């Protein structure tokens, strides 16, 4: 998911700016979009299934442009299949002892189900199956603390990987889990408005200048007195490696490290670890481009444009038959003349189920590639993510049940190789990383019942 929040000391069209910020974060979730806006008195929320541009057409955006508005939060949702229900769209709004609250989050609380059960036992009722509701209910439970202190208390109770924005009529809050698994950054516009966002690309989209990343375990808030911070939990940074591998946009910088440059270094590491003789290096667009540039630079094998990606190919839909699934890949990708008669090094960021990879290898062979050497800029994904990235249920992860050689045979490549964990670490060269989906070492804990289908 992607989150966005804006607080302006003066009236500003915060609905429009949130729309732009959410649009810049669209790659983080295409299933639903929503926002809350306040002018200090009124409080509006609109959310629905669909892309940002579908949910917020002109009429709806106009409606959100409250007179005198100065605070807003926005959310783009990404979730596992089956939970794309409208009532689970965010932001969630509630009326509480702290006034009306809007909340949106990216990530997962691994202990939300336990806390939910405890609260159910105490007679608390829930309207959604969304973990956000658990957090907001806990905040309301600290009835004699103010919103900031109550939120700080709840931050200490929740475990997992999460970045959250919360607003009431007077302030905007942002917080990041103690491991900093999920990203969140702060920016400011020339007119003084503060912006909190999942990625720097959303700051750029609304003319805000990057100030800094929120620290792991930190709570920040903006109100009429400016920007404030509370370091709630001592920080042990283990940000998600997948943000640099695949998830964050190529023009983003996460915790001070450019994703594009990290991807290039992953490609260079991959070329050092897994060299091969070939004529051209071809990326699977768009996610394999950075690593393919790096692989080409390091190996000296020319980079070429071997796969065309149809820019109008939207979200993939669930295709009912085998032919429909294959045509779905063709809708998005087709080979160019570059691959004919060539030995190709094909670069992608990850293999999850292996199904699209197999079809891409076949596309290249049909187009006359003489050899296809598949190189992947992440290690084999063997474990599910409990911190908000949908790397699929464990049984669907091809690398959790197959060896590299078996996967090679399945996808029909001449050779197949993955980057090592050390390769990823040196490419990102930031603080410690979460690499749990590759090695099963979960830095922020796992759910009591490892029900991999219930996370979102
Ligand atoms: P596979 O061959 O495993 O079916 O597909 C691999 C492709 O899935 C890669 O190109 C990779 O960029 C993409 N991918 C990896 N993680 C995700 C994800 O979380 N969501 C989506 N939509 N694609 C992903
Ligand atoms: Fe990221 Fe993988 Fe850790 Fe999930 S398990 S937070 S995808 S590195
Ligand atoms: Mg891809």
61 vs 314, more confident:
61
Calculate how far, in angstroms, residue 328's C-alpha sits from the geometric centre of ligand 3: 14
Q: What angle do CA 398, 399, 403 make, to 5 degrees?
A: 115
Could you tell me which of 338, 346, 341 has the C-alpha nearest to residue 281? 346
The pLDDT score that the predictor gives to residue 210 is 98
Calculate how far, in angstroms, residue 46's C-alpha sits from the geometric centre of ligand 2: 30
List, for residues 400-445, the tens digit of each pLDDT value. 999 999 999 999 999 999 999 999 999 998 779 999 999 999 999 9
Query: Is 385 annotated among the ligand-binding residues?
Result: yes
The pLDDT score that the predictor gives to residue 452 is 45
The pLDDT score that the predictor gives to residue 451 is 47
Specify the CATH number of the domain 2-237: 3.60.20.10
Q: 207: which residues sit within 8 A by CB, 6+ positions away?
A: 189, 190
Specify the CATH number of the domain 261-437: 3.40.50.2020
- For the chain, give every domain's residue range: 2-237, 261-437
Give DSSP secondary structure letters for 271-287.
HHHS----SEEEE-TTT
What six digits make up the tokens of 46?
């609109």
Spatial separation of the C-alpha atoms in residues 153 and 276, rounded to whole Å: 53
Pocket test for ligand 1, best of 77, 287, 352 (most atoms within 8 A of CB): 352
By annotation, the residues acting in catalysis are: 1
Strands (DSSP E) found in 317-438: 333-335, 343-348, 371-376, 415-418
CB of 163 shorter than 6 A to ligand 2? no
Query: Is 422 annotated among the ligand-binding residues?
Result: no
Number of C-beta neighbours around residue 189 at 10 A: 17
Verify cis geometry, omega within 30 degrees of 0, for the bond prior to 286.
yes
List, for residues 154-200, the tens digit of each pLDDT value. 999 999 999 999 999 999 999 999 999 999 999 999 999 999 999 99
The pLDDT score that the predictor gives to residue 315 is 56
How confident is the prediction for the chain on average, in pLDDT?
93
**Residue with CA at minimum distance from ligand 2 atom 6:** 240
Could you tell me which of 332, 327, 289 has the C-alpha nearest to residue 308? 332
Pocket test for ligand 2, best of 434, 435, 444, 450 (most atoms within 8 A of CB): 434
């Amino acid at each position: 998911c992607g989150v966005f929040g804006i607080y302006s000391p003066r009236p500003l069209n915060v609905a429009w700016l949130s729309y732009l910020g959410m649009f810049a974060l669209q790659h983080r979730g295409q299933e639903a979009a929503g926002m809350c806006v306040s002018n200090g008195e009124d409080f509006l929320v609109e959310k629905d299934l669909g892309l940002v541009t579908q949910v917020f057409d002109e009429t709806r955006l106009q409606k959100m442009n409250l007179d005198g508005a100065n605070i807003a939060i926005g959310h783009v949702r990404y979730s596992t299949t089956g939970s794309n229900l409208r009532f689970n769209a965010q932001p969630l709004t509630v009326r509480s002892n702290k006034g009306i609250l809007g909340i949106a989050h990216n990530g997962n609380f691994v202990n939300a189900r336990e806390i939910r059960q405890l609260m159910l036992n105490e007679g608390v009722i829930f309207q959604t199956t969304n973990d956000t509701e658990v957090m907001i209910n806990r905040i309301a439970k600290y009835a004699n603390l103010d919103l900031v202190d109550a939120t700080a208390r709840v931050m200490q109770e929740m475990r997992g990987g999460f970045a959250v924005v919360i607003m009431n009529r007077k302030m905007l809050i942002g917080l990041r889990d103690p491991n900093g698994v999920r990203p969140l950054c702060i920016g400011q516009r020339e007119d003084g408005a503060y912006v909190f966002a999942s990625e720097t690309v959303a700051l750029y989209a609304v003319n805000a200048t990057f100030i800094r990343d929120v620290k792991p375990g930190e709570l920040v808030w903006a109100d009429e007195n400016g920007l404030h911070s509370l370091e709630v939990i001592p920080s042990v940074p283990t940000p998600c490696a997948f943000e640099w591998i695949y998830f964050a946009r190529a023009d983003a910088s996460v915790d001070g490290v450019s994703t594009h440059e990290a991807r290039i270094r992953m490609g260079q590491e991959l070329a050092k670890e897994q060299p091969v003789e070939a004529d051209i290096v071809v990326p699977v667009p768009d996610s394999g481009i950075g690593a393919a540039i790096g692989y080409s630079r390091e190996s000296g094998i020319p980079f070429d444009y071997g796969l065309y990606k149809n820019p109008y190919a939207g979200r993939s839909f669930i295709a009912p038959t085998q032919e429909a699934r294959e045509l779905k890949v063709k809708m998005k990708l087709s080979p160019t003349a570059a691959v004919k008669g060539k030995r190709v090094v094909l670069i992608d960021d990850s293999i999850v189920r292996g199904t699209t990879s197999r079809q891409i290898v076949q596309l290249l062979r049909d187009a006359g590639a003489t050899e296809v050497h598949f190189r992947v800029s992440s290690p084999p994904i063997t474990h599910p993510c409990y911190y908000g990235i949908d790397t699929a249920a464990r049984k669907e992860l091809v690398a959790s049940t197959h060896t590299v050689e078996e996967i090679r045979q399945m996808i029909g490549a001449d050779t197949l190789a993955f980057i090592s964990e050390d390769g990823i670490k040196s490419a990102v060269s930031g603080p410690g990383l979460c690499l749990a989906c590759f090695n099963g070492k979960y830095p922020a804990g796992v759910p009591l019942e490892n029900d991999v289908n219930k996370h979102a």
